[in-house]
Structure 1
């Protein structure tokens, strides 16, 4: 089988034990999966749901190699006058590749639930983050008719547009280079995102899921045990990574270069428990149902999907 995913802690063991392919960017993996060039692949949840509405030959397994809290992913131009989430109305907002990438779905959903954010009251600009790029050409681009969505101009990048004030806000899975360079023109909407994300998790139990793993439907049909084997393979790789962190507690996490990593791992175990990155349906149902609700509320799904409809039936008991 041709397997494609990004290299994370959660997948590192696969690259050591199996012939796994990767790419420089995640959208490259997603595109290859959707075009049928991979048998098993990591795929963003919104990419999967959009294709599911089109009748995709792919089936998701409850494997989640990429999860990120997203209060930190909203950046503002400091000259825009935005000092909090209540001041996002009537703004021009950038988003990478498509209206409603996974990080944007989560960020918009949290802002809608907790701060009354209304996406339709803003102008949305889709483009490349650090290089000029057209919207992704390998997925549909649904959005409500009331939402104003345009593309960035020729030669423009969202990072540059945010830095020079052409857009007021950016929802971005990656930290823009202007932020990494210390531009005084850009700041996070929530500078205290760490405290907010911890509070959000304590109140909701949600650890946002960005990506799943998909398998070609015909392969699952021809090999009834394949879904379970792929699930076990990815879960074992993830558990191996978690065990490395647990063992390294004895050594103050010296295998890493990050000071106080040992304290962060201790805090994570206190906050989340021993399995802080679970796979399967049961441990992730609330998170998945919240994402499916956000996806529908934001006009990216024509109906509200149920968890049981989007994952391989043989793994619904996980």
Structure 2
């Protein structure tokens, strides 16, 4: 019997590597795994729907649900999760000594709808007295001039936002003090180079993120896996097949990460860091599915709606293919 051929565009992750290497194969599917940078995957999927299956920014996916005919359906598989307190940078002379000082400042962001920035705007509002509309935003390329939003946005007038000049970059503007701060998933080049003019807003990132988790129980979700809607409509069974395979691949990654015979990654204290993560966040700290992630998703969806990115507040269960939320009971 022939198998369905699908192309899956995704990052190079330990939790999906078994699918890339074909040691785990989804039932009934031959999968071509394309290892691509996340920005390229998101742009090509949002603009041109090039792949049958792809990793996608959680924010971009929720934006897409507002279309008359939503082009994707998601699986509750979270290829990227990350605390993002370390994603806020500021100019050393901007008068920012704490997160609360961001009120009234000019903050750059490559795109307003980036998931990391939705999270940080929400966290700043909830926990640091910086409502999202108390800041002026500028958008554009971080390291290369000319970046634009992947999807058209219809933002409320309360959002003060403009594009930087087409020949400028956010990293250069931050270093030169033309903007006060920058919220970005990627480390800006001046900071990476040790430029003293640029520093992080949260001076002790790890302590801030641990405190945030202790207070909220939230380990932020960044990316989901989406299936193109036309593929799902023709073959609804692929949702469960892919979900099972991705879950098995994650479990395999858990096991290999705790193999102490030789370090899998170039981190000297990888094993004790893994044990600490399990102690603080639980053994299944990178959990998939709706159970255990409902509050995290509900918080993000509230932020997304409050910040003008979605016209209504979605419920977590509305995001996912129903088949991926159920399993057979033996």
TM-score computed with the length of structure 2 as normaliser: 0.91
| Alignment: residue pair count | 312
Residue 119 of structure 1 and its aligned partner are, at CA, apart by 2.3
Select the residue among 13, 21, 30 that pairs with 2:18: 13
| Residues 1:86 and 2:100 are matched in the alignment | yes
| Residues 1:162 and 2:174 are matched in the alignment | yes
| 2: CA distance, partners of 1:211 / 1:143 | 22
Give SS of 1:65's match: strand
CA contact (8 A) 2:145 2:169 kept: yes
CA contact (8 A) 1:61 1:212 kept: yes
Gap runs ≥5 in structure 2:
1-5, 23-30
| Residues 1:27 and 2:39 are matched in the alignment | yes
Counting only pairs closer than 5 Å after superposition, residues 1-318 of structure 1 correspond to structure 2 as 1-17=6-22, 18-23=31-36, 25-34=37-46, 35-54=48-67, 55-96=69-110, 98-136=111-149, 138-248=150-260, 251=261, 254-317=263-326
Residue 170 of structure 1 and its aligned partner are, at CA, apart by 0.3
Give SS of 1:215's match: strand
| 1: CA distance, partners of 2:7 / 2:113 | 28
RMSD, aligned α-carbons: 1.4
TM-score computed with the length of structure 1 as normaliser: 0.94
> Whose strand fraction is larger, Structure 1's or Structure 2's?
2
Residue 264 of structure 1 and its aligned partner are, at CA, apart by 0.7
Gap runs ≥5 in structure 1:
none
Give SS of 1:134's match: coil
| 1: CA distance, partners of 2:100 / 2:251 | 41
Residue 226 of structure 1 and its aligned partner are, at CA, apart by 1.0
Residue 31 of structure 1 and its aligned partner are, at CA, apart by 2.3
Residue 247 of structure 1 and its aligned partner are, at CA, apart by 2.2
Q: CA-to-partner distance for each residue in 1:15-58, whole Å, 9 max, x for gaps?
A: 211520132x3121112222221001001011111111013221
Q: CA-to-partner distance for each residue in 1:107-126, whole Å, 9 max, x for gaps?
A: 01111001121222222110
CA contact (8 A) 2:60 2:113 kept: no
Residue 157 of structure 1 and its aligned partner are, at CA, apart by 0.9
| 1: CA distance, partners of 2:177 / 2:103 | 16
Residue 283 of structure 1 and its aligned partner are, at CA, apart by 1.7
Residue 92 of structure 1 and its aligned partner are, at CA, apart by 0.9
| 1: CA distance, partners of 2:147 / 2:282 | 42
> Whose helix fraction is larger, Structure 1's or Structure 2's?
1
CA contact (8 A) 2:73 2:226 kept: yes
